[in-house]
Amino acid sequence: MRSWFFYAVGAGVLYGLHQIFTKMAANRISDGLGGFVVEGTAALTILVYLLSLGLVVVGTRQVHLPG
């Protein structure tokens, strides 16, 4: 199997869970708070990913200048 297949399956599962929890919370919290939580969680997850990527890539990065 391709290396991206498991990432795609994981993304599909997380998206499905997101839909389930959004429908469960729809009657319990306001639209504003729900949107804030969803967008805040997404932004925090992306930030953690970028920070972890930066920590891994810093040691392996090489610069080659022409000339």
Instruction: List, run by run, the mean pLDDT of 10-residue segments along the chain (67 residues).
Output: 85 87 78 82 88 69 71
Burial of 34 (0-12, 13-18, 19+ CB in 10 A): middle
Q: Which residues contact 22 (CB under 8 A, 6 or more apart)?
A: 34, 38
pLDDT of residue 13: 93
Is residue 38 within 8 A of residue 22, CB to CB? The reply is yes
pLDDT value of position 59: 58
Per-residue pLDDT at 52: 81
* Interatomic CA distance for residues 14 and 57, integer angstroms: 26
pLDDT score recorded for residue 55 = 67
Q: Say what angle helices 5-25 and 31-57 make with each other, to 10 degrees.
A: 160
